[in-house]
Amino acid sequence: MTVGVCADTGCRACDSVNVYEAFRREVARERLRKVEIKATGCHGYCEKGALVVIHPRGILYTQVKPGDVPEIVAKTLKKGEIVERLLFLDPATGKRIRLEGEVPYYKKQMRLILGNNSRIDPADIRDYIALEGYEALRRVLEHGKPQAVVKTITKSGLRGRGGGGFPTGVKWDTARKARGERRYVICNADEGDPGAFMDRSICEGNPHSVIEGIIIGAYAVGAHEGYIYVRNEYPLAVEALTVALEQARECGFLGKNILSSGFSFDISISRGGGAFVCGESTALMASLEGRPGEPRAKYVHTVEKGLFEQPTVLNNVETWANVPKIILGGLDWYTKIGTGDVSTNPWGGSKGTKIFSLVGTVRNTGLVEVPMGTTLREIIFGIGGGVPEGKTFKAVQTGGPSGGCLPESLLDLPVDFDALTGAGSMMGSGGMIVMDEDTCMVDVARYFIDFLKDESCGKCLPCREGLRALLEILNRITEGRGKRGDIRLLEEVSEGVAETSLCALGGSAPNPVLTTIRYFRDEYVAHIRDKRCPAGVCKPLLRFAVVSESCTGCHACFKACPASCITGKAKEIHVIDETKCIKCGACYDVCRFEAIAR
């Protein structure tokens, strides 16, 4: 029996490390020799952490605390009985579900890339090898010519998962043919999009799948040096990858003469410095060279002149992790998953699966992997369980700061590279942030522009100054100083920034503004004309007051107010002194009688 305890960053916050230790202690004490305890990567259902899966049966226990461990060991591990109270409770039916695969959240997914996370100890290469790991590499080195590998990847229809959606095979082919003294491959693990964490989870949970993909890619394009550029905010990912590289070297998958094929290749890790723009390929390469991460114009592509002026292939973590799957599963199998037809045109469809980080105001938060072409509605309501606490769905934000906000009416849109772009948003790296009625769309647009203004490297004027101008207008609107014509002005400046910026950061930066204007224009009008924030978010437009008919004098708001601006005795109607109110909303949140109006 194997017990997989999720020890990913998210579950660690739910004390999963102590759960793991408790299992080790208990199992040692009970002398259960046939039980193996593994600290695994992210299982994806972050809402229910700490997660424990017991294989081979696949029993899933959710929200496990260290104190629950003796009971699990005594019952499940020793006697094969189920601990009912720790099973997942299906809110739809009120029944407890035993097996991981039967929980609705997992049942509706297709977990090609994430599936092995609950079976693998990322710090032990043998776990990966036992699940056909490095088998794809062996096959490629034994039978495949580099050109044949490139052809397979092109035919598979694999497109870049980092957001661009550029066909991976086409990229490899150009790099292979480009002239240069040497070639480089880079794995972009600088997952900067706020609200996206699938790359972190792959690196932490199944690092060898990424490394194997990179080695195959290096062989295909003829590179002997590779880099993994990891975000500074992900210390655990750096640790997992460092250990994995070390073990891959020991096993002869990296280094000189890999698997006696005559092919030599090695990978080093580079830590980022906390700059969002470094996710852009040319900026990332500048950073790898030890310079500030400023992008350059791409009239010469990086596949021809990239890192140190040499042909360079850069792909995202998830893209690399797909490579071994395609080699092992074959083209017939892979091209059946997803949308469109890629047999003649690599841009003709979106193939394979995509991982989304489903977060925000949605019931089941976590990582969701579905075939391309799944509808937004299926992801948010079918898998995510919809919006909690009886609120209504307002929008879903896809594609990070470069993406857009889509309303309820577009929920039946199939998710692939082309459909989302058509709606004014984009797939991006796969962040999917659900927003309910309490989210102000003007504030969301302001939030993203504020983010991008900070992250703009400042090299080109349209992005540097344009974003500042957009922010000024949005600040004005959210502070109740909006003017007639501001919406038009926003659209005009947006167009200028999008058309004339140097890199994709500026080129896509206005998307959040343009989509919120397109789909939620009435909220802009409410802010500008009526000086009102319908969602009750924009502070300067709020006024908190006690509704005297509903106030019971329970004194809760009095205790909660950090500014001491509420007066009133128990069982008497309370009063808010507006001159002292800091509009923190504490009273609104603690009131159980809807007696605070805003």
Partner 1 sequence: MNKVDSIRAMREKLLAGRGGGAGTARPQEAGVVRKILEKHGRRASQIIAILHDMQGVYNYLPEPDLRLISRELDIPLTRLYAIATFYKAFRLVPRGRHEVSLCMGTACHVRGAMRVKDAIERELGIKAGGTTDDMRVSFETVRCLGCCGQAPVMVVDEALVTKLDHLTVGTTLEKYR
For residue 505, give the nearest of 456, 470, 553 by alpha carbon. Answer: 456
Q: Which residues of 415-447 are buried (b: 16+ CB within 10 A; e: fewer)?
A: bbbbbbbebbbbbbbbbbbbbbeebbbbbbbbb
Annotate 128-178 with DSSP letters as a single string.
Answer: HHHTTTTHHHHHHHHH--HHHHHHHHHHHT-B-TTTT--BHHHHHHHHHHS
How many Cβ atoms are within 10 Å of 587's Cβ, its own excluded? 26
Angle at alpha carbon of residue 286, lines to 284 and 290, rounded to 5° = 110
Residue with smaller CB distance to partner 1, 3 or 457: 457
| Shortest distance, position 197 Cβ to partner 1, whole Å | 4
| Shortest distance, position 352 Cβ to partner 1, whole Å | 23
| Shortest distance, position 116 Cβ to partner 1, whole Å | 20
For residue 217, give the nearest of 257, 171, 156 by alpha carbon. Answer: 171
| Shortest distance, position 134 Cβ to partner 1, whole Å | 26
Residue with smaller CB distance to partner 1, 469 or 590: 590
Strand-pair category, 312-316 with 338-340: unpaired
Residue with smaller CB distance to partner 1, 136 or 237: 237
Backbone angles phi, psi at 270, to 5 degrees: -125, 130
Residue with smaller CB distance to partner 1, 46 or 406: 46
HSE-CB at 455 with a 13 A cutoff on CA atoms is 25
Residue with smaller CB distance to partner 1, 276 or 417: 276
Residue with smaller CB distance to partner 1, 5 or 153: 5
Whole-number Å distance between alpha carbons of 60 and 67: 17
Mark residue 290 as left, alpha or beta (left: phi above 0; alpha: psi -120 to 50; beta: remaining).
Answer: left
Q: Any bridge partners for residue 435, and if so which?
A: 395
| Shortest distance, position 182 Cβ to partner 1, whole Å | 15
For residue 186, give the nearest of 234, 221, 135 by alpha carbon. Answer: 221
Beta-carbon contacts of residue 201 (< 8 Å; ≥ 6 apart): 8, 41, 42, 44, 114, 117, 367
What is the layout of strands, in order, in the sheet containing 353-360? 366-371, 353-360, 431-436, 393-398, 404-407
Burial class from Cβ neighbours inside 10 Å (0-12, 13-18, 19+) for residue 7 reads buried
Residue with smaller CB distance to partner 1, 122 or 324: 122
Give the tokens for residue 45: 């259902």
| Shortest distance, position 515 Cβ to partner 1, whole Å | 14
Residue with smaller CB distance to partner 1, 282 or 350: 282
Amino acid 408 reads E
| Shortest distance, position 64 Cβ to partner 1, whole Å | 15
Residue with smaller CB distance to partner 1, 442 or 457: 457
| Shortest distance, position 293 Cβ to partner 1, whole Å | 7
Residue with smaller CB distance to partner 1, 169 or 366: 366
| Shortest distance, position 87 Cβ to partner 1, whole Å | 20
Q: Which residues of 299-314 are buried (b: 16+ CB within 10 A; e: fewer)?
A: eebbbbbbbeebbbbb
| Shortest distance, position 289 Cβ to partner 1, whole Å | 5
Residues binding partner 1 (CB under 8 A): 9-10, 12-14, 46-47, 49, 191-197, 200, 231-235, 239, 270-276, 287-293, 357, 359-361, 365-367, 397, 400, 431, 433, 435, 439, 444, 447-448, 451, 454-455, 457, 560, 562, 582, 584-586, 589-590
Residue with smaller CB distance to partner 1, 197 or 263: 197
Whole-number Å distance between alpha carbons of 559 and 508: 46
| Shortest distance, position 487 Cβ to partner 1, whole Å | 23
* Cβ atoms of residues 544 and 597 within 8 Å: yes
